[in-house]
Amino acid sequence: MSLGKIVWTVSFVLVLCSMPMLIPDLIGIQRSVEVSSGAGDRYDGELSADLLRFQVAVRDLEPGSQPEVIEEVIEEVVLRLDNVFTRLNAFPEPDSAGWYTWAAGREAGAAEVRRVLDQIDRDLPLLRTDPAAFRAVADRRAEEAVAIHWRMQLAMGEQQNTLVGRLQHQVSVFQMKLLGYGAGFIVLVGALAWLMRSHMRSEKELQATNRQLRDLSESLVVARDAAVRSNAAKSNFLANVSHELRTPLNAILGFSEALASGIFGRLPGRQAEYVGDIHLSGQRLLALINDILDLAKLDAGKLELREEVVALDKLAAEAIRGLRETSSAAGVTVDLTSVAGGVMVLGDPLRLRQVLDNLLSNAVKFTPTGGRIEVAVERLADGHTVVIVTDTGIGIPAGDLARVFLPFEQSDSRRARPAQGTGLGLPLVRQLVESHGGTVGMSSEPGVGTEVTVELPPERALPAEGNPRSIIKGNSAAKGCPRNTA
């Protein structure tokens, strides 16, 4: 994740989380405003005025005044007392939520004023019977009510000052939070702008990269087509050249074989040896041409398999017998182990024999004198058919195991028996086995030996003929000839 995305994400989360934090502050400010707004100041002022008017009316009860004057004053006192009670009744009910907006503590002062006025109300009968006594009692109690009310107002003034200070503090805190919220919002917008700019720049770079990839893809397509044409030309060239080489090779092989047979007269020893070398070299060249043709056909997908029922164990025995002279000269023993009843498969016998010949000749070439080669033909429990060729040769380094299956590649080992080789044997084996739907695996350890496993799929397996278990022994260095017990 880029730095812009990180900043934008952090800013967005902080702004989003800070929004609910502002709600309690707003509620607290609203309550403080309600408490400190002075909603009851008007009632307090009117109550104070009514108390003073009642006190003035009480003091107008002068002894010795005319009866009609006394009667008017009595009416005035009663009226002013009713006004005070009316003003008190306008206050919220005791213990009600209405006192909250009037500020805490005012309820107790109003209750004290009501208590004093209730005492005056109880003494109201003295107003007509003994105005002077009522005047003395009522004036003292009215003075007490006024004092209580003034103390209540002073306390409320101090509380109002405290509430105003608290409100100012809450407003200051809220302003700081708003500033922080605004700064976060600005950072959020800036990060978003940065992200958009980075996105546009990245989009331009991506478009440029896409154009380069398109150009490269077109170049690769052109190169691929050229490679395909080159490969086709190579295959055609190899096929044509191979066919052209076969004609003189047939003459060389035929004439050399005729000369060696003596039908034109017996040749001296040196000439007979040279003719034999010519014939042997021609056979090697013909085998090389055949391998090249087979690889070309396999690469072009034109190699057709002529499938029939093949006794794989018998085919392996024939391959070992065909290798008798070579293995005897190399001093290498070759043994074949097959399951009882034989191993039957559906395949091209010529191509399967070609696979066995290449594997065996390769094993003989890299197995020192006195070594041993074992060929096992088995049918596995899962239906796969395997041919395992194991030798006690020089082995192949682990780094060369994959390379030896490439055309014209060979393991770089100086201990191999001096022999001609083109590196086409194992690649041809792999492609021929894969054309049968099988696989080839190899494991090796330098100085210990090599094991090559050819595995054919279950659909190529056929019921056995019931042949007994057989072991065919190849050439031994001690006896110099093969022993066949198949």
CA-only gyration radius of the chain, Å: 60
Query: What gap in Å lies between CA 201 and CA 294, rounded to an integer?
Result: 56
Say if residue 469's pLDDT is above 60: no
The Cα-based distances of 75 to 134, 135, 394 in angstroms read: 14, 14, 140
Exposure on the CB side of residue 288, measured as CA atoms within 13 A: 14
**Can 3-196 and 305-484 be said to share one CATH topology?**
no
Question: Tell me, what's the pLDDT at 340?
Answer: 63
DSSP character string of 346-382: EE-HHHHHHHHHHHHHHHHHTS-TT-EEEEEEEE-TT
3-state SS assignment for residue 306: coil
Say if residue 158's pLDDT is above 90: no
Q: Which of 39-48, 277-286, 400-409, 423-432 has the highest mean pLDDT?
A: 423-432
Query: What gap in Å lies between CA 29 and CA 23, rounded to an integer?
Result: 10
Query: What gap in Å lies between CA 92 and CA 50, rounded to an integer?
Result: 18
The Cα-based distances of 31 to 161, 165, 390 in angstroms read: 15, 14, 96
User: Which pLDDT band holds residue 483 (cuts at 50, 70, 90)?
Assistant: very low
* The two three-digit tokens of residue 191, written as one number: 């990060």
3-state secondary structure 417-443: CCCCCCCCHHHHHHHHHHHCCCEEEEE
| Mean residue pLDDT across the chain | 76
The hierarchical CATH code for the domain 3-196 is 1.20.1330
Strand-by-strand arrangement of the 344-347 sheet: 308-311, 344-347, 461-462
Say if residue 45's pLDDT is above 80: no
Question: Tell me, what's the pLDDT at 386?
Answer: 92
In total, the chain counts a number of residues equal to: 486
Going by the DSSP 8-state scheme, the letter that residue 92 receives in this structure is P
User: Which pLDDT band holds residue 472 (cuts at 50, 70, 90)?
Assistant: very low
3-state SS assignment for residue 452: strand
User: Which pLDDT band holds residue 414 (cuts at 50, 70, 90)?
Assistant: very low
Say if residue 484's pLDDT is above 50: no
Beta bridge partners of 449: 445
Closest CA to 320 of 107, 472, 99: 472
Say if residue 61's pLDDT is above 70: yes
The pTM of the full predicted model, rounded to 2 decimals, is 0.47
Q: What's the mean pLDDT in 414-426?
A: 57
Q: In what helix (H) or strand (E) does residue 300 lie, and over which residues does it extend?
A: helix 269-300
pLDDT in tens, 278-287: 877 777 777 7
The least confident of 145-159, 177-191, 398-412 is: 398-412
Question: How deeply is 388 buried, as exposed, middle or buried, from its count of CB atoms within 10 A (0-12, 13-18, 19+)?
Answer: middle
Sign of CA dihedral 387, 389, 395, 396: negative
Domain residue limits, the chain:
3-196, 305-484
Q: Which CATH superfamily is domain 305-484 in?
A: Histidine kinase-like ATPase, C-terminal domain (3.30.565.10)
Residue 281 CB neighbours (<10 A)? 14
Closest CA to 291 of 361, 223, 230: 361
Question: Tell me, what's the pLDDT at 377?
Answer: 92
Q: Which of 55-59, 97-101, 305-309, 411-415 has the highest mean pLDDT?
A: 305-309
Strand-by-strand arrangement of the 483-484 sheet: 439-445, 449-456, 385-391, 372-379, 333-338, 471-473, 483-484
Phi, psi angle pair for 464, to nearest 5° = -75, 155
